[in-house]
Chain A
Amino acid sequence: QSALTQPASVSGSPGQSITISCTGTSSDVGAYNYVSWYQQHPGKAPKLMIYDVSTRPSGVSDRFSGSKSGNTASLTISGLQAEDEAEYYCSSYTSSNSLVFGGGTKLTVL
């Protein structure tokens, strides 16, 4: 299975909004509303930020939102804060009864 495609890096200034894309195929992202997003700070374990495309777990800021159109899912972070600087990974369930991750996107807060 091929990894989902994410931009290697994105950046934004405090207070701005950024969007990270995650492109898959009709066998994963396009086929199911089971896309999730994870935030990972250096040296730490990933943290679930979004699941089922757009649902936030309890305790996750409402500045984080998710959406999907066709084979591409997106994570939007509004009101950027310094603490949002991290690596972000998308993941999707696939028609092969497996999970696949994206390659990761490094978010830099300028």
Chain B
Amino acid sequence: QLQLQESGPGLVKPSETLSLTCIVSGGSISSSSFYWGWIRQPPGKGLEWIGSIFYSGSTYYNPSLKSRVTMSLDTSKKQFSLKLTSVTAADTAVYYCARLYCSGANCFATRPHLDVWGKGTTVTVSA
């Protein structure tokens, strides 16, 4: 059964870069039927999609975060990563990694839904 596990620092200083990794176990990271994504949830607030990446390296990012986000994927290590630059207190949140199922030649644009989630990791931005 596919499992996802987030890891990374729980505390990041303002203006620095937040870096998280998600390890994929129990399944392939190289399938053409899935993207891999990050979603965050500030304390007491709703979910926000950050972005998604395909095993080929193709990415889609939330337009509101695009200038600060970089995602990468390492098929040999079965993991994908998130970097968010110039963080502020507003970036304090639980960060989830998730598998995004899709289908077809234009995968991300066809039937995208987040079917497997990690447990989440809390990141606090504070000096």
Contact = CB atoms under 8 A, between A and B. Distances in A.
Real binding pair: yes
Interface string A92-109: 010011111111100000
Given A98-B63, A103-B46, A46 B96 contact: yes
Interface residues of B, number: 25
Given A48-B115, A91-B114, A38 B47 contact: yes
Nearest to A45: B117
Interface in B90-127: 96, 101, 108-115, 117-120
Interface residues of A, number: 24
Contacts, number: 62
A72 interface: no
B63 A3 contact: no
* Majority SS at the chain A contact face: strand
Given A101-B46, A103-B46, A104-B46, A96 B63 contact: yes
Interface of B: 39, 46-49, 52, 60-64, 96, 101, 108-115, 117-120
